[in-house]
Each structure stands twice: as C-alpha cells, then as structure tokens.
C-alpha cells in the first residue's frame, strides 16, 4: 500500500480536521474529534434540516456536500463502514432548526439499519424525521427488484434538489417529496479499471489484470456484471448508456442532467472523452442535456474508473437543480 497518511487508524479523523481547517466557511465538526460535520452556520432556525451519512472514502460524498443549498450535517464512519446510530443522532441534532429532519442516504445495510435506529431515537425527543434512500445503481439488481439496488452518485441530485427546496422554505413533507422525486429520477452505472485500497486493509480490495476492466462494479469494489478485456472509451460509454437507457427511457423532447463521475483516479481528460460520446448520443435522440457535470463527485478512494448518472428532469426538478448552492467541491 502506498498512501499519504500517518496512521491507518487516524486516517478519517485527520482527514476531517484538515477538511474543516481548509474550508471553515462551509464545514465545522460538532465537537473536537467528532465524526460529524455540520454547516458552519447550522442549525438554521425554521429550515428543514438535511442530514446524510455513510462511510469515508467517497469524497465529496458524504461530508463534502454540507453547505448552503445542500446538506446541513453528515455523519461519517471509517473507510467504507457505516457511522453509528449515535453519530447519526448527533448529526440530526446539529441540523435541527425546528422544522424537522430529512435523512438522505444510500441503500447499504449498515447505513439503513443505523439511520432507522437513529430516527427512532431522535423521534423520542419529538423531532419529526423522514428518509429518502437512494437505490440508483442499475447494475446491482434488476428493475423488478429496484429497491435492492445500491445507492451511488445519484445521491448528489437528491442532495441538491432537497437542499434547494429546504432553502426555499418548503416544509418537511414537501422537501421529502422533492428528494424522493429526484431519487426516483436518477439511474447510475459504474465501470472500474483498477481496485481501491482501504487503508486499514492495506492491500487492494480486489485483483484485476492490467488489460482488464469490470462493468457494473460497486463503489466499494462489489462485483460487477462482467469482467473482460479493456475496451475503447466509446465502447465503454455505449454499453453504459445502453444499460441506463434500457432502465429509464429518454426520448426526443426530454431533458436530463448527466453526471460523468471519476471514481477517484480517472483524470478529467478521460471523462471529457466519455462526455463527448454521451452528448452526441443524447443529441441524436433529441434529449436536451441540462447542467452537465463532469468531474469527481462520488469517488471510491483511488479507484480508476467512471460512473454515469442520468437524472431525468421535469420543470420542478430542473428549477431546484439550478438554484444556487455552494460547498467546497461544487458551486451552482
């Protein structure tokens, strides 16, 4: 393992200290050493609080999206490990402006169980909560079992839409409805060229040959749908697009945002080669791309690879997607 760190056990804690020190205008820890990050101006009285949580190793997800027009607080676990229910409760308290709390998180066993528990705990204090669980990775289960799918980069669309709605003063039910609508409108798929290495494990999560790639791989290295010889950018993009479009039809006149996301090590140059193909295909279909996103939005440590996310828009989603928002990693 070749990584820049001091101690594998302090990896997450030192990262959080650095993150908050570099961007104090956005982020603050709820207490010294706490693995809970809140907006530096949270809680905001009268505003619905937006909370997320999950394992470290995916920056900007999860902590990175704390900011104006986005999230109020995030609970962070070890690399690829769920934060505890206790940390999630702390994040909800930090976000509580008196108008209820919406929790937005990915469909992973530990996160789901711990958020359920945390919501139960905070509701005993008569703070109302709702939840929207992202399950956008089409490679992780067939459409008939869509509720079993993993949540990946599609999370950021739910964060963005819910954040804008909460900032606009909408109530908890309305913010939840919009977040759910965004969650239902996103589909994602990933492809990996190399593995990531979890610091505490010290070796690559999986082995993959120099000339191989894997389609449909999860952001923790979960197996994909096939592994085979490396292909050209256009062939990779074509298969990823075909899979997404088979799951969610986009036709002439439709509007969609597309996210071409680096899983960590893939450079922007390669992302733009892929975007070029996606743009041409959607132009041919007569689909209007709105606010394309190309870069690192949800990563898997230093994994080389890419994910595509399509978010089909209507007037309402588009309005909230375009509303101003700001964090250290994304400004709209």
Partner 1 sequence: MPLTSRELASGFAAIAARMEVSAEELNRLDAEIGDGDLGVTMVRIGRGVGDVLDDLPDDVGMALTKCVQAITKVSGSSYATVVAIALMSAAKACKGRSEVPWSEMSALLAGACQATMERGKAALGDKTVIDALDACRQATAGLDEPAAIVAAMGRAVNEVLERMRPQPCRIGRARIFGDKTVGLDDPGMVAFRCMIEGIAGGK
Catalytic residues, by residue number, are 58, 220
- Do residues 55 and 88 lie in contact, with contact meaning Cβ atoms separated by under 8 Å? no
Q: Which of 15, 17, 20, 117 binds partner 1 (CB under 8 A)?
A: 117
- Do residues 213 and 191 lie in contact, with contact meaning Cβ atoms separated by under 8 Å? yes
Interatomic CA distance for residues 135 and 132, integer angstroms = 10
Nearer to partner 1, 69 or 221 (CB): 221
Q: Check binding of 130 to partner 1 (CB under 8 A).
A: no
Which residue in the block uniquely carries the two structure tokens 């394992």? Answer: 55
What dihedral do alpha carbons 273, 274, 279, 280 form, nearest 10°? 80
Q: Check binding of 116 to partner 1 (CB under 8 A).
A: yes
Nearer to partner 1, 81 or 183 (CB): 81
Size of the site for partner 1 (CB under 8 A): 16
Q: Check binding of 124 to partner 1 (CB under 8 A).
A: yes
Q: Which of 112, 146, 225, 238 binds partner 1 (CB under 8 A)?
A: 112
DSSP 58-108: STTTTGGGBSBTSBSEEEEEEETSPPPHHHHHHHHHHH--SS-EEEEEE--
Q: Which of 82, 188, 194, 257 binds partner 1 (CB under 8 A)?
A: 82
Q: Check binding of 33 to partner 1 (CB under 8 A).
A: no
Q: Check binding of 245 to partner 1 (CB under 8 A).
A: no
Interatomic CA distance for residues 153 and 158, integer angstroms = 10
- Do residues 259 and 309 lie in contact, with contact meaning Cβ atoms separated by under 8 Å? yes
Nearer to partner 1, 32 or 315 (CB): 32
Closest CB 51 distance from partner 1, rounded Å = 16
Q: Check binding of 120 to partner 1 (CB under 8 A).
A: yes
């Amino acid at each position: 393992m070749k990584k820049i760190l001091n101690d594998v056990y302090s990896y997450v804690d030192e990262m959080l200290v650095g993150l908050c020190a570099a961007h104090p205008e956005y982020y603050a820890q709820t207490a010294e050493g706490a693995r809970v990050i809140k907006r530096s101006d949270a809680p905001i009285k009268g505003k619905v609080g937006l909370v997320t949580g999950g394992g470290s190793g995916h920056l900007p997800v999860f902590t990175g999206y704390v900011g104006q027009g986005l999230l109020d607080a995030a609970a962070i676990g070890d690399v690829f490990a769920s934060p505890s229910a206790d940390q999630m409760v702390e994040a909800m308290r930090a976000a509580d402006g008196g108008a209820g709390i919406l929790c937005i998180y990915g469909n992973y066993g530990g996160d789901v169980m711990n958020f359920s528990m945390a919501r139960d705990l905070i509701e005993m204090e008569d703070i109302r909560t709702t939840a929207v669980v992202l399950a956008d990775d089409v490679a992780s289960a067939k459409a008939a079992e869509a509720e079993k799918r993993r949540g990946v980069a599609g999370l950021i669309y739910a964060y963005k839409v819910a954040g804008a709605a909460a900032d606009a003063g909408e109530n908890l039910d309305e913010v939840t409805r919009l977040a759910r609508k965004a969650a239902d409108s996103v589909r994602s798929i990933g492809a990996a060229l190399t593995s990531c290495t979890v610091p505490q494990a010290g070796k690559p999560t999986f082995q993959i040959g120099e000339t191989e790639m894997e389609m449909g791989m999860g952001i923790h290295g979960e197996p994909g749908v096939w592994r085979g010889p490396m292909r050209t950018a256009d062939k990779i993009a074509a298969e990823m697009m075909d899979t997404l479009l088979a799951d969610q039809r986009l036709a002439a006149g439709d509007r969609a945002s597309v996210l071409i996301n680096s899983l960590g090590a893939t450079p922007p140059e390669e992302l733009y080669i892929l975007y070029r193909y996606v743009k041409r295909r959607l132009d041919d279909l007569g689909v209007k791309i709105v606010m394309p996103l190309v870069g690192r939005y949800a990563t898997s440590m230093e994994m080389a690879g890419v994910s595509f996310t399509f978010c089909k828009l209507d007037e309402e989603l588009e309005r909230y997607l375009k509303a101003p928002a700001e964090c250290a990693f994304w400004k709209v």
